[in-house]
Amino acid sequence: MSLNRMTAHELHELMLKKEVSAVEITNAVYSRIDEVEEKVKAYITITKEQALETARRVDEKIAAGEQVSPLAGIPIAIKDNICTNGVKTTCASKILYNFVPPYDATVMNKLNARHAVMVGKTNMDEFAMGSSTENSAFHTTRNPWDTERVPGGSSGGSAAAVAAGECIVALGSDTGGSIRQPAAFCGVVGMKPTYGAVSRYGLVAFASSLDQIGPFTKDVTDCALVLDAICGHDPLDSTSVKYQHPDYTQYLQNDVRGLKIGVPKEYMAEGLDPKMRRVIEEAIVTFSNLGAVVEETSLPHTEYALAAYYLIAPAEASSNLARYDGVRYGYRNVEADNVLEMFMKSRSEGFGDEVKRRIMLGTYALSAGYYDAYYNKALKVRTLIKQDFDKAFEKYDLLLSPTTPGPAFKVGENTADPVQMYLQDIFTLSVNLAGIPGISIPCGFVDGLPAGLQLMGKPFSEGTLLRAAYTFEQNTEFNRQCPAF
Amino acid sequence: MISKKDVEHVALLARLELKEEEKEMYTRQLNDILKYAHKLQQLNTEDVTPTAHVLPIKNVFREDQVGDHLPNEKALANAPDKEGNYIKVPKIM
């Protein structure tokens, strides 16, 4: 098997045995990028020189007999909304087309301390608003399983890069499904950790009460390894939780006996592709056969989640994105002859359609006379949705559902109607509203395209999610399949 | 229903300058989205406390100590226009 197709834990073993060097692994990844990037377009920026420099340092450390972390020398792709010191961070927006952060996000400090090798910055929907990467100001990323189709979004570049072998692991961010949905579409593992588990310092804010950074990997073991590296309290993020996270690799046990799994019936109903339903039903049988207790349950306010989400997230976004005014960084219209005109022109020319739509929606929902009817109402419904989960978790260790209503759709298929595009997030966004962890793992195929299974857990139950996901993976073959291309 | 006039007002609040066709597009699309969002009104939420944030964290304080900070030239490096140690903008008054 070529090096770029291997997992981080496999490559780590090979490096320790001195059968392969970090430089060889990094070169293998860049050769693959040379070969397929023209078709996949997963990246916005490539950082080859810096990557080879880090890889050489890892090789020196290993040669000197120094102990290295499980991520040392592992090529990792970073979503372009995570600040990287000295490396352009655009959020796939014209308004940040030239922004070079003067500091690293906390997750980058953690990865750099472990000598992970950053391959480049990946494409996304502008400011993480979208479900297909079609909202990138630069280009649309293609799904490696079928380049006529989208990779999902908003972290589509990270998911496609992992699936196409253009990196070994990747980081994305998830506000309403932006890690889990593209992971499902591209046939890889993607996790949104509990809100507050990973520092958001240096993550360009979209909706601050919902955003979380998380990993994309080829298997569950790598997911645990990346999670171990990025989790932890950070004084620079006031919403980061003071919590000593466990060693996640200890949960990689092939055993779900006695685990109580609930299947919310609202997630198996209307809008679900019948072929997707069959794949999920087979996964339920697999879990039952392995000794888990799987039962139908209910999250009665599910049908209100999308409406609540699409008021709360745009409201927070309209406030967060007020900072882009052409003054301190990013795009500025230089023809304006007073400052108000400069704000208006810089923002109008710098933001794309979807971002403007959400700023408008959020501004409206927060404006005088509508605050109670829209924003505050949505926050109350959020409480009801959270209570549904709290109640379900009194009885179940985990909840199981499809990650998406169907497999990857075609480029252009959902761009005309915003509500149609928003419906792509219907099974993922409640997890963000409730602040709980969710993981998507490959669970089969629908018409030759990958299908994703979502597992949801109580706050800080990432370990239980990993254990169930690992068991499923060990007893199925889905994650071992790669796109033929 | 949102009118084109509402869209113009919201655009001004959001510091966005919209073209005529954008005003029409956003009027239509925002109405579609708000029509969908209207289903929230079906729920009685009179006694429900709103959740702005899932964590029980209130204020987060730290010691008031001087830490590291960016040197001026690094902090100004991304500014579209500057003069000396200042960011330069068109006239305000």
**For A382-401, what is the mean pLDDT?**
98
**For A24-53, what is the mean pLDDT?**
98
Give strand pairing partners of A213: A173
Question: Which residues of chain B lie closer than 8 angstroms to A211, CB-CB?
Answer: none
**For A72-99, what is the mean pLDDT?**
98
Binary contact (A209, B18; C-beta < 8 A) = no
Q: What is the pLDDT of residue A119?
A: 98
Comparing alpha-carbon positions, the chain A residue that sits nearest to B50 is A380
Question: Which residues of chain B lie closer than 8 angstroms to A381, CB-CB?
Answer: 40, 43, 45, 48
**For A259-288, what is the mean pLDDT?**
96
Q: What is the pLDDT of residue A240?
A: 95
A178 counts as catalytic: yes
Q: What is the pLDDT of residue B42?
A: 95
Binary contact (B77, A195; C-beta < 8 A) = no
Binary contact (B53, A196; C-beta < 8 A) = no
Q: Is B56 on the interface with A (CB under 8 A)?
A: no
Q: Are strands A398-402 and A75-79 parallel, antiparallel or unpaired?
A: unpaired
Q: Are A3 and A20 in contact (CB under 8 A)?
A: yes
Domains of chain A, by residue range, sit at 3-256+438-452+459-480
Sheet containing strand A117-122, edge to edge, reads A43-46, A117-122, A75-79, A169-174, A212-217, A189-192, A438-446, A449-457, A398-402, A260-264, A293-297
The shortest C-alpha distance from A398 to chain B (Å) reads 19
Write the single-letter amino acid at A373.
A
Binary contact (B80, A99; C-beta < 8 A) = no
| C-alpha pair distances (Å), A28 with each of A25, A38, A119, A127 | 5, 17, 11, 31
**Three-state SS letters, chain A:** CCHHHCCHHHHHHHHHCCCCCHHHHHHHHHHHHHHHHHHHCCEEEECHHHHHHHHHHHHHHHHCCCCCCCCCCCEEEEECCECECCECCCCCCHHHCCCCCCCCCHHHHHHHHCCCEEEEEECCCHHHCCCCCCCCCCCCCCECCECCECCCCCCHHHHHHHHCCCCCEEEEEECCCCCHHHHHHHCCEEEECCCCCECCCCECCCCCCCCEEEEEECCHHHHHHHHHHHECCCCCCCCCCCCCCCCHHHHCCCCCCCCEEEEEHHHHCCCCCHHHHHHHHHHHHHHHHCCCEEEEECCCCHHHHHHHHHHHHHHHHHHHHHHCCCCCCCCCCCCCCCHHHHHHHHHHHHCCHHHHHHHHHHHHHHCCCCHHHHHHHHHHHHHHHHHHHHHHHHHCCEEEEECCCCCCCECCCCCCCHHHHHHHHCCCHHHHHHCCCEEEEEEEEECCEEEEEEEEECCCCHHHHHHHHHHHHHCCCHHHCCCCC
**For A416-433, what is the mean pLDDT?**
91
A154 counts as catalytic: yes
Q: What is the pLDDT of residue A28?
A: 98
- Supply the DSSP symbol for B93: -
pLDDT digits (tens, 9 = 90+) for A215-225: 999 999 999 99
Binary contact (A377, B39; C-beta < 8 A) = no
Q: Alpha-carbon distance A352 to A93, whole Å?
A: 7
Q: Is B10 on the interface with A (CB under 8 A)?
A: yes
Q: What is the pLDDT of residue A270?
A: 77
Residue A186's contacts (CB-CB under 8 Å, 6 or more residues apart) are A143, A144, A145, A151, A152, A159, A160, A162, A163, A408, A450
Q: Residue A480: is its pLDDT beyond 80?
A: no
**Residue among A322, A327, A357 minimizing CB distance to B26:** A357
Q: Is B90 on the interface with A (CB under 8 A)?
A: yes
3-state secondary structure at position B19:
coil
Q: What's this model's pTM, rounded to 2 decimal places?
A: 0.97
Interface test with A, best of B46, B89, B92 (most A CBs within 10 A): B89
**Residue among B51, B54, B79 minimizing CB distance to A328:** B79
**For A366-381, what is the mean pLDDT?**
94
Comparing alpha-carbon positions, the chain A residue that sits nearest to B11 is A360
Give residue A120's pLDDT band: very low, low, confident or very high (50, 70, 90).
Answer: very high
Write the single-letter amino acid at A227.
L
Give residue A196's pLDDT band: very low, low, confident or very high (50, 70, 90).
Answer: very high
The shortest C-alpha distance from B63 to chain A (Å) reads 11
**Residue among B38, B62, B87 minimizing CB distance to A327:** B87
Q: Are A126 and A351 in contact (CB under 8 A)?
A: yes
User: What is the pLDDT of chain A when averaged over all its residues?
Assistant: 97
Give strand pairing partners of A446: A449
**Do you find a cis peptide bond into A154, omega within 30 degrees of 0?**
yes
Q: Are A455 and A183 in contact (CB under 8 A)?
A: no
Closest to A265 (Cα-Cα) out of A402, A384, A383: A402
pLDDT digits (tens, 9 = 90+) for A144-194: 999 999 999 999 999 999 999 999 999 999 999 999 999 999 999 999 999
The shortest C-alpha distance from A338 to chain B (Å) reads 5
Q: Which of A21, A69, A93, A154 is catalytic?
A: A154
In this structure, what token pair is assigned to residue B40? 């929230």
The shortest C-alpha distance from A379 to chain B (Å) reads 5
Q: What is the pLDDT of residue A266?
A: 96
Binary contact (B55, A195; C-beta < 8 A) = yes
Q: Alpha-carbon distance A402 to A406, whole Å?
A: 9
Tally A–B CB contacts below 8 A. 166
Q: Is B11 on the interface with A (CB under 8 A)?
A: yes
Q: Alpha-carbon distance B41 to A381, whole Å?
A: 10
For the A3-256+438-452+459-480 domain, the top CATH level (class) is alpha beta
Q: What is the pLDDT of residue A417?
A: 85
Question: Which residues of chain B lie closer than 8 angstroms to A384, CB-CB?
Answer: 43, 45, 48
**For A210-238, what is the mean pLDDT?**
97
Give residue A420's pLDDT band: very low, low, confident or very high (50, 70, 90).
Answer: confident
The shortest C-alpha distance from A253 to chain B (Å) reads 30
Q: Alpha-carbon distance A123 to A137, whole Å?
A: 9
Q: Is B77 on the interface with A (CB under 8 A)?
A: yes
The tokens 């998830």 sit on which residue? A174
In this structure, what token pair is assigned to residue A216? 């994309």
- Supply the DSSP symbol for B8: H
| C-alpha pair distances (Å), A272 with each of A275, A371, A407, A448, B60 | 8, 33, 10, 17, 43
Question: Which residues of chain B lie closer than 8 angstroms to A371, CB-CB?
Answer: none
Q: How many CA atoms lie within 13 A of A24 on its CB side?
A: 12
| C-alpha pair distances (Å), A308 with each of A422, A430, B33, B55 | 12, 9, 11, 18
Q: What is the pLDDT of residue B31?
A: 95
Q: What is the pLDDT of residue A419?
A: 84
Binary contact (B54, A363; C-beta < 8 A) = no
Residue A237's contacts (CB-CB under 8 Å, 6 or more residues apart) are A106, A199, A200, A201
In this structure, what token pair is assigned to residue B13? 């609040």
Binary contact (B80, A326; C-beta < 8 A) = yes
Comparing alpha-carbon positions, the chain B residue that sits nearest to A311 is B37
Q: Alpha-carbon distance A178 to A174, whole Å?
A: 4
Q: Alpha-carbon distance A410 to A105, whole Å?
A: 34
Binary contact (B89, A327; C-beta < 8 A) = yes
Q: Are A94 and A349 in contact (CB under 8 A)?
A: yes
Q: Residue B93: is its pLDDT beyond 80?
A: no
Long-range contacts made by residues A267-270, C-beta under 8 angstroms, separation at least 24? A267/A299, A267/A302, A267/A401, A267/A402, A267/A427, A268/A401, A268/A402
Give residue A391's pLDDT band: very low, low, confident or very high (50, 70, 90).
Answer: very high
Name all domains of chain B by residue range, CATH numbers in brackets. Answer: 1-42 (1.10.20.60)
Q: What is the pLDDT of residue A481?
A: 80
A158 counts as catalytic: no
Q: What is the pLDDT of residue A162?
A: 98
The shortest C-alpha distance from A308 to chain B (Å) reads 7
Comparing alpha-carbon positions, the chain A residue that sits nearest to B67 is A236
Binary contact (B91, A382; C-beta < 8 A) = no
